[in-house]
Amino acid sequence: MEAAGYEKEVEVAVRVVQMACSLCQKVQESLVRSPPDLITSKDDRSPVTVADWGVQATVSWVLSQSFGSGNTSIVAEEDDQTLSSKDATVLLESVVNTVNSCLSEAPKYGFRAPEKELETCEVLEAIRSCNSTGGSKGRFWVLDPVDGTLGFVRGDQYAIALALIEDGEVILGILGCPNYPMKKEWLNYHQRYYRLMSNLSPPTFGSWHKGCVMYARKGSGKAWMQPLVHDVGELDLHNNARVVRVSSVSDPACATFCEPVEKANSSHSFTAGLAQSVGVRKQPLRVYSMVKYAAIARGDAEIFMKFARAGYKEKIWDHAAGVVIIQEAGGVVTDAGGRPLDFSKGIYLEGLDRGIIACSGALLHEKIIKAVDASWDSSNL
């Protein structure tokens, strides 16, 4: 199924992700200076910030205004439970202020701003309304407001991920990567070092040195990347965007392999063994979030593997946007059995065969699939 005729959806989605990137940049700058009041923890101890709720409320409000609240169904990572507690007054106030500040700049991105600032109850409702559970029928948006929150709070890589799914198929994918460096060698360094070096040797004024939004539409055969912008006049979708393609490297010895930073839900030892068995010689590139998908789509890496530990279930918002972008950029994404990822079963990637493998080309992908089959029984996963 080719997703022709989705021009408005692409336009709105790219613009709102641009807005979300601006919101996140401002919050991350604040976090670097004074983090305590802007961060809390979920029940699973993973961090969540003002930016997570702020982006979710902003995207929810803009999509509802653009397509009608009755026609807008959203699956998203966050809920309003923590914000609604009696102990979250300061945090909630920060979220409301952040959302209203962002929405006041909506006209810069081609959207109508609210006639008056949103009340606290309206912000909570925007977050709460992202309560779709997905499935195989109908149309819904999938949002990870800040993918890689741990990287975000550490001042490093993160992504805003938005996708449109229709009858179980990913139709559109948009990834906002505010800290993504245009020189790929900088992906190996923490953003603190990048900021330090940028201060010592500032980039040329007006140059595109960091930050992008990538997007793709299923069946188009192209994936696009544009710089972060702050005015609607700069947001003509294709005039300031460039087509990205996956790398042509097919020799594993020359390939760059990326994997999650954290070991909590991914086995570094197993992926390292797989990489070595297929002939990968470079050190793994460990970056937070769906920036790994962006790296493959842009040709900065060739392989991404993730094999979760027993009991962990992959969620659709962690993969939907990145998958379609890699595929339209010419790459391959499947589970470890070689089957397409199934986004039609709700919020989880049910039926996933062992893990996820994304590659720039079919030859690398085939070698890794074979290596998984050969070594899985001894993996202890």
Q: Show binding-site residues.
A: 77, 144, 147, 318
- Of 49, 52, 80, 300, the active-site residue reads 52
CA–CA separation, 137 and 209 (whole Å): 41
CA–CA separation, 168 and 134 (whole Å): 8
CB 221 within 8 A of CB 4: no
CB 159 within 8 A of CB 148: yes
**231 has catalytic annotation:** no
Q: How many CB atoms lie within 10 A of CB 236?
A: 11
- Biggest CA pair distance of the chain: 61
CA 288 to chain CA mean position, Å = 10
Q: Cite the annotated binding site for Mg(2+) by residue number.
A: 77, 144, 147, 318
**236 has catalytic annotation:** no
Nearest to 166 by CA among 97, 75, 232: 75
Tokens of 162: 């938005």
CB 300 within 8 A of CB 246: no
- Of 149, 256, 271, 334, the active-site residue reads 149
Instruction: Please identify which residue in the block is written with the tokens 């079963």.
Output: 345
Q: Give the β-pairing of 303-306 and 257-259.
A: parallel
CA–CA separation, 326 and 359 (whole Å): 8
Q: C-alpha distances in angstroms, 20 versus 32, 68, 89, 287, 374?
A: 18, 20, 23, 20, 43
Which residues are catalytic, by number?
52, 149
